[in-house]
Structures are given as structure tokens and as C-alpha cells.
A = this chain, B = another copy of it.
Amino acid sequence: MVTIRDVAKQSGFSSTTVSIVLNNAPLARYIPAVTKKRIESTAKRLSYRPNLFARSLRSRRSHTVGVMVFDMTDPFCTPVLRGIENSLYQASFLPILTDVHNERSRFERYLEMLLDRRVEALIVVANWLFVNIDVLGDLEKSKIPTVMIGRELKNNSISSVIVDNELGAYLGVEHLYSLGHRKIAFLRGPKTLTDSAPRWKGIRSFAKSQGLEIDARLVADLPESRDPNSSFESGYKLTEEMLRTRRPFTALMAFDDMTAFGAMRALTMAGRRVPEQCSVLGFDDIAASSLCTPALTTVRQPMEDMGAMAAGIVLAGINAMREKRRQPATHRRLAPQLAARDSTREAS
């Protein structure tokens, strides 16, 4: 490898001068253009690349951000990751990707590894994260800018980016209601999942405002599970059971898209066509939603934006730290949008 000393020797200047010139340090003002040119050209000729280990050792900076995903297989992750990546790229930061597999031990191990590598910030994608996995304490200790995506926090040392679940659910029922649906079945999220409560609240809030009656016998809860993909199975089973009760409903609002897919399968198997005989509504707008037929009407989370925003937040935090400013945690709640597609239509 060619070092700064090689460039110094070849160009006839000292390594100090080379360093100043190549980094365009403040002192470079005083260095004559000829010198600069000579140094730059020999650097290029030798195709010199500074050793980042040495540089990082000195500067204590890694230009790296740790990204912790709680379950990579969750289709929610992919667009979020792209948003993060894109944002970091603009700032010449690189992400180190870790997948915690929803295991506490793995989380701890990875956190330690990332901190050892002096990542300058942490982005945690914790959408399908249960309250009982308490990781906030560990995260706070790290003292580097940290943001959680998909988990509401009032914490003032960890930032958060979430979708407005309440608003989303509100928009969802509103859509069904405006299509004339009055007998709506609801598949709520697992009780221990933090998204579940606000979404239900949004539904109740709309129901109250419009005098929509919610039949308790048309409400079911997904069981707790570590696996985001399990909600397909659960959605299928709960819908099957609900159909067996013979209690009529013209629309079904699922906790998320995965659940909605399960519900659609169950309805189809039972001979009820979607959307002709029953409308189905999801939440998230994962990739599969626009692909399947009928395309799923759903409440769209701006996942890529959320990733980009999270990256933006920690990047700002990094800059603040560099300038020794104290940056308070920021909490963003992004508005979802209804993506009206083919799985919903007027109640008949």
C-alpha cells in the first residue's frame, strides 16, 4: 500500500504538507498553487488512498451508522432500508446492517459489536417489536444519536419516527364507511404490540364521530407472536372462525396487510368473493399488496420516507455532537395515506 510518506517522498515535500494539501485543511491557504498541484498529481499518479484506520484512530470518527433491524423478513423493512441507505449515501456515510432476529441476546451482541466499531449513530427498525423486549435502557447508554423507527417514544434521548397509526386506522374505516359499509369486521393487532392500541383508537374515534356501531362479535385479536409473517396464518384462522359464526359483515379491516392476505384467502376459500361480497382493507402497503389480485386497498405507511427521515435525524445528531451542541431527541409522526385499490368497493 502506498502511504502518505510515499507521496511525500515522491513529491519532495513532507508528509505534513501532503496531509494539509490533500485534506484541504485551513493551513492550505498558505500553500502555493504549484506545491498543491505537484502534490496532488503525484498522489494521483501513485493512486494514493488514505488509510481510514489511521485516520479514524486519530479523528475518532468512523463515518458509519449502525442499523439494527428486528426482523429482516418483515416486508416492512426493505423500503425503510432503502430510505436509510439513500440518505446516508448523500452524506458519505455507510450503514452496517444487523438483523436481531427478535432475540435479546442477539441484540446485545450486535449492539456491542457496533459500539466497538464506533458507529456514529444507531438506527433501530423496530416495527414488530413487543414491549417485553426492553432495549431502550441499553440503547440509551450508548451516548450516540439513536432513532427508533416504528415505535412511539416520549423518551428525550432517543428519537423516533413512526406513522400516525391512529390517523391511519381512522382513514381506513372512513374509507369503508364512505363506501356504505356498516357491518364491518375487525382483526385487531396483538395486545402486546404497540401499534395495536392506537389503530384501534382511531377506529373507535371514527365510529363515535359517525355513529358507526361496532359489533363486539365481529372483533377478534391476533395472538402474540415473534414472527411478523405469522399474522397471515392468524388472519386466515380468525376470519374462518368469524365466518363460521354466520354473523354477517360486508367488509373486513385487518390489522396489517399480512393479516389482510390471510383474511382474503379465508374468504375466498369460503366462497365469498373479494371485493364483490366482502371488502378487505389492510395496513402498511407492503410490496405484495399492489401485486396480488385483487390489489389490496390499504393504509400506506411512507416507509422509504421514514427511513430517510430517521437517517436525517441521526445525521443531524452527529453534526450536533461534533459542534458540541446538545441536540434534544426529535419525535416525528408521519401521516399515512389511503391507497384505494381493488379489494374494496361499495357495499351491496
What's the nearest-Cβ distance from chain B to residue A3, in Å? 12
Binds B, one of A93-101, A159-167, A170-178: A93-101
Q: Are A291 and B53 in contact (CB under 8 A)?
A: no
Q: Which residues of B contact A75 (CB under 8 A)?
A: 78, 287
Binds B, one of A7-15, A79-87, A246-254, A323-331: A79-87
What are the interface flags for A100-119 relative to B under an 8 Å C-beta threshold, 1 for contact and 0 otherwise?
Answer: 00000010000001111110
What's the nearest-Cβ distance from chain B to residue A284, in Å? 12
Q: Are A73 and B79 in contact (CB under 8 A)?
A: yes
Q: Which residues of B contact A49 (CB under 8 A)?
A: 115-116
Q: How far is the CA of A99 from the CA of B118 in the complex (A)?
A: 22
Instruction: Select from chain B the residue with minimum beta-carbon distance to A57.
Output: B53
Q: How far is the CA of A291 from the CA of B292 in the complex (A)?
A: 8
Given A53-B53, A293-B292; A97-B72 close (CB under 8 Å)? no
What are the interface flags for A51-94 relative to B under an 8 Å C-beta threshold, 1 for contact and 0 otherwise?
Answer: 11110110010101001000011010111011001100100101
Total copies of this chain within the assembly: 2
Instruction: Select from chain B the residue with minimum beta-carbon distance to A54.
Output: B57
What are the interface flags for A277-319 relative to B under an 8 Å C-beta threshold, 1 for contact and 0 otherwise?
Answer: 0000000000110011111000000000000000000000000
Q: Are A265 and B288 in contact (CB under 8 A)?
A: no
Whether A232 is near chain B, meaning CB under 8 Å from some CB there, is: yes
Instruction: Select from chain B the residue with minimum beta-carbon distance to A95.
Output: B97
Counting chain B CB atoms within 10 Å of each CB, the highest count among A115, A291, A293 belongs to A291
Whether A268 is near chain B, meaning CB under 8 Å from some CB there, is: yes
Whether A258 is near chain B, meaning CB under 8 Å from some CB there, is: yes
Instruction: Select from chain B the residue with minimum beta-carbon distance to A265.
Output: B293
Q: Which residues of B contact A293 (CB under 8 A)?
A: 261, 264-265, 268, 292
Q: How far is the CA of A99 from the CA of B90 in the complex (A)?
A: 12
Q: Are A85 and B99 in contact (CB under 8 A)?
A: yes
Q: How far is the CA of A57 from the CA of B3 in the complex (A)?
A: 13
Q: How far is the CA of A98 from the CA of B92 in the complex (A)?
A: 11
Q: Are A82 and B72 in contact (CB under 8 A)?
A: yes
Instruction: Select from chain B the residue with minimum beta-carbon distance to A296.
Output: B292
Q: How far is the CA of A62 from the CA of B94 in the complex (A)?
A: 14
Given A57-B57, A287-B288; A117-B94 close (CB under 8 Å)? yes
What are the interface flags for A144-188 relative to B under an 8 Å C-beta threshold, 1 for contact and 0 otherwise?
Answer: 000000000000000000000000000000000000000000000
What's the nearest-Cβ distance from chain B to residue A236, in Å? 10
Q: Which residues of B contact A295 (CB under 8 A)?
A: 265
Q: How far is the CA of A77 from the CA of B73 in the complex (A)?
A: 10
Q: Are B52 and A116 in contact (CB under 8 A)?
A: yes
Q: Are B57 and A85 in contact (CB under 8 A)?
A: no
Instruction: Select from chain B the residue with minimum beta-carbon distance to A267.
Output: B293
The 10 A-B residue pairs with the shortest CB-CB distance, nearest first, are: A288-B288, A292-B292, A53-B57, A97-B97, A261-B291, A53-B56, A265-B293, A72-B82, A85-B99, A268-B293
Task: Identify 30 residue pairs between A and B in the complex whose beta-carbon atoms are under 8 Å apart, listed by A's number.
Answer: A49-B115, A50-B116, A51-B57, A52-B116, A52-B117, A52-B118, A53-B56, A53-B60, A53-B118, A72-B78, A72-B81, A72-B82, A73-B78, A73-B82, A75-B78, A75-B287, A78-B78, A81-B97, A81-B99, A85-B97, A86-B99, A94-B113, A94-B114, A95-B97, A229-B287, A261-B291, A261-B292, A268-B293, A288-B291, A292-B292
